[in-house]
Structure 1
Amino acid sequence: MSWLYLALAVVFEIVVGVSADKADGFKHLWWTAAALVSGAIATLFLSLALLTFDVGVGYALWTSLAEVGIVIVGVLFLSQKLTWRAMLGIAVILTGVIGLNLS
């Protein structure tokens, strides 16, 4: 169940990233509200996941997977470019997450 909580926390954290971008510095009320609400929900699910995961591992998984997810959403839906440097960074992040999870 903790993996489901972590997955939901990651999904809502991706929503935070996209909403914060669309809020444009708090200029758009609904996007700002979406960022704040989804941030609270993401934190709730992270807290539930941390009942099982060590805090260092759980938080690292949450932030890293959300970061990769935001990059993917940006490329697929927000017309952002994926450079070889970004792909290298994603590979390094995923390698670190796998290594941390195996430790």
Structure 2
Amino acid sequence: MHWLYLGIAVVFEIAVAVSAGRAQGFTRPAWTTATLVSGGAATYLLSRALLTFDVGVGYAVWTSAAGIGIVVLGALVFGQRLDGRRLLGIAAVIAGVAGLQLSGAA
């Protein structure tokens, strides 16, 4: 169940990034609300997942997966560039998170 909480928390964290970008410095009320609500949901679900995960590992997985999701979403939906350097960075993040998981935590 902790993986489900963490996965849904990642989706909400991606929503935070998209909403915050659209909120334009919290000057657009609907996007500001979306940012705050999705941020609260992401944090709540992360806290549920951290009942099982080590805090450092759980937080690293959450932020890394959300970061990768945001970069990929930016490329697919918003037309942002996904060049070789960014792909290398994504691979490095995945390798780092896999290393944490292989260390036996959670």
Specify the alignment match of 1:45 in structure 2. Answer: 45
Structure 1 CA distance, aligned partners of 2:28 and 2:93? 32
Q: What is the CA-CA distance between 1:27 and the residue it aligns to?
A: 2.2
Residue identity (%): 61
Structure 2 CA distance, aligned partners of 1:13 and 1:94? 18
Specify the alignment match of 2:75 in structure 1. Answer: 75
- Letter of the structure 1 residue corresponding to residue 33 of structure 2: A
Question: RMSD of aligned C-alpha atoms?
Answer: 0.7
TM-score by length of 1: 0.97
Equivalent runs, 1:1-103 vs 2, <5 Å = 1-103=1-103
TM-score by length of 2: 0.94
Q: Which runs of 5+ in 2 are unaligned?
A: none
Q: What is the CA-CA distance between 1:23 and the residue it aligns to?
A: 1.0
Equivalent pairs counted in the alignment come to 103
Which segments of structure 1 move beyond 6 Å, counting only runs of 4 or more? none
Residues 73-103 of structure 1 show CA distances to partners (whole Å, capped at 9, x for unaligned) of 1111111111111111100000000001110
Structure 1 CA distance, aligned partners of 2:51 and 2:23? 32
Q: 48-57 vs 19-28, which deviates more?
A: 19-28
